[in-house]
Structure 1
């Protein structure tokens, strides 16, 4: 990444581990002019407090929620802060648990700066991928294409880049938890926003044990807006013929 091209790295966290300061250190080396916005979604305990202290010592701005409100709320908190404090800068959202490599994060950052479009870092669901992740992604790919007519290889990727012009819009998209990221894609399709896709390395640490995703409740939250969008798309032509 060109050192003169400043960008905001938005890292939503809950009970963060040592991977957070390690990631920040490596990203700072790759993009010296970057800004870090860490949104702590209600972490507790001395271990998390120490990690967040290290993040602040590394120059990160830590925004704290008093309790766990969900990833969607954390992202919108970060988008609002970035729009106000770093106007005109694009934002790259990444997971801070070691699942996204610095090289991939930088590639996604470069693409948003080069194109001015939303960019997804999409994983290849081939070998060494937990079966539940592979099946879940296949199902959502099919449903998303049927509902929107758009092909998105990885609807649940946490590595995404957004142009500065969309930050205000992102704060208006509904959703509080993991369903928010699906809603962003659905609303982008509805609004006609272009989406770029960059293939990234698929990394699952300890079978994705660090994820706070609930297979039952969060899956239901994700599929409900997708099915609702699909139903609305099917009903729209019928209303138009009346």
Structure 2
């Protein structure tokens, strides 16, 4: 299993995550894709990750999370063929326990796995409202009950890496496009609940409420239009971590 961490302007939480992960799972490989960070702080964090044994790939300029993820998928497919990939944010939101649990579900199920956040308690209002609205719209246009369409904790079987490289989207809309395409082709989706820790009200997030929300909704609305033209486009197959559901084709 490979951990893929796309980062932009990372801080001390990146090497902390790597250290904790290595302590819990010494054999795991970590690939960090830096999306055009600059400054002494990010440089120190990336150097520390490299010193801890991570592979660090760097974009010269900021190209977007979708591009960073595809850079990582391409590297893993070429350098570590046959390895499953778990993607996690490196800003302190995801615990090592949840990362490893999501990763372990891939070989157990053979499915794409989503770590579904608990959007209650001390969750920023914009995250709670935005996710609820997107979840409802996603189910309305696809019929697929994904409970957290914007989660950054996702795991993929090795067999999906080439397919993931074909999905369009350069920024935060990429992860939405992956889910939409998964419903179109009937890719099985597994979901499991995770804990989420928002540090300082999610101040480290680089998600722009207006611009990035518009990018996320664009492929969703495009998919809805395509469904009106061809109602058979969605062939989703979904399960949960606790209750299996037969694929719908």
SS in 2 for 1:40: strand
Partner residue in 2 for 1:193: 187
1:10-89 alignment runs, 5 A limit: 10-89=4-83
SS in 1 for 2:21: helix
Q: If the length of structure 1 is used for normalisation, what is the TM-score?
A: 0.94
Give yes or no for the alignment of 1:148 onto 2:132: no
Question: Structure 1 pair 186/237, CA: closer, same or farther in 2 (3 Å)?
Answer: closer
SS in 1 for 2:56: strand
Task: Work out the CA distance in 2 between the residues paired with 1:61 and 1:126.
Answer: 35
Question: 4+ runs of 1 displaced by more than 3 Å?
Answer: none
Give 5+ residue unaligned stretches, structure 2. 233-249
Aligned length: 232
Partner residue in 2 for 1:208: 202
Deviations 1:105-142 (A, max 9, x none): 01101111211110000012122111111111111111
Task: Work out the CA distance in 1 between the residues paired with 2:212 and 2:178.
Answer: 16
| Structure 1, 224-233 or 213-222: larger mean CA deviation | 224-233
Equivalent in 91, 94, 99 of residue 97 of structure 1 = 91
Task: Work out the CA distance in 2 between the residues paired with 1:134 and 1:62.
Answer: 32
Partner residue in 1 for 2:247: none
Deviations 1:155-210 (A, max 9, x none): 00000000000001001100000000000000011010000001000221111100
| Structure 1, 21-30 or 228-237: larger mean CA deviation | 228-237
Task: Work out the CA distance in 2 between the residues paired with 1:100 and 1:113.
Answer: 21
1:105-116 alignment runs, 5 A limit: 105-116=99-110
Give 5+ residue unaligned stretches, structure 1. 1-6
Partner residue in 2 for 1:184: 178
1:131-170 alignment runs, 5 A limit: 131-170=125-164
Task: Work out the CA distance in 2 between the residues paired with 1:52 and 1:212.
Answer: 18
Considering only aligned residues, what root-mean-square deviation do their CA atoms show, in Å? 1.0
